[in-house]
Amino acid sequence: MLEIRPNCELCDCDLPPASTVARICTYECTFCKDCVEQTLHNVCPNCGGGFCPRPIRPKVARRQGVSLQSQAASSTRVNTKYSIEEIQSFSAQYVDIEPQDR
């Protein structure tokens, strides 16, 4: 189950559970749309994969026990350990390779 992390790992902006600008990679590294498009160029600085919109967990249980009420989003903030320079250098190596081919 997704943690639904509360922030962008790069700019640290808040990404609440219903955010439509949250992006995740296959390892659930979480960034905002602006950072993914403008800084990361759709290259995850942690794994090299691409990003997709983070799913939104239902607020209300449509089936018993399946909602934010029963399975809360994470409150633990995560920040990348890489500098902007390291991220830019890493992204530059893979930006021209489609995510499915990396």
Sign, CA torsion 62/64/56/14? positive
Q: How far is CA 22 from CA 8, 15, 86, 93, in A?
A: 8, 6, 22, 24
Sign, CA torsion 90/52/26/57? positive
What does the pLDDT read at residue 21? 98
* Domain ranges within the chain, ordered by starting residue: 1-91
- Bridge partner list, 22: 32
Global pTM reads: 0.92
What confidence tier does 12 reach under pLDDT thresholds 50, 70, 90? very high
pLDDT tens digits for range 16-55: 999 999 999 999 999 999 999 999 999 999 999 999 999 9
Q: Whose CA is closest to 45, among 65, 62, 31, 59?
A: 31
Please enumerate in sequence order all residues whose Cβ is within 8 A of that of 77, keeping only pairs 6 or more positions apart, or say none.
5, 6, 7, 12
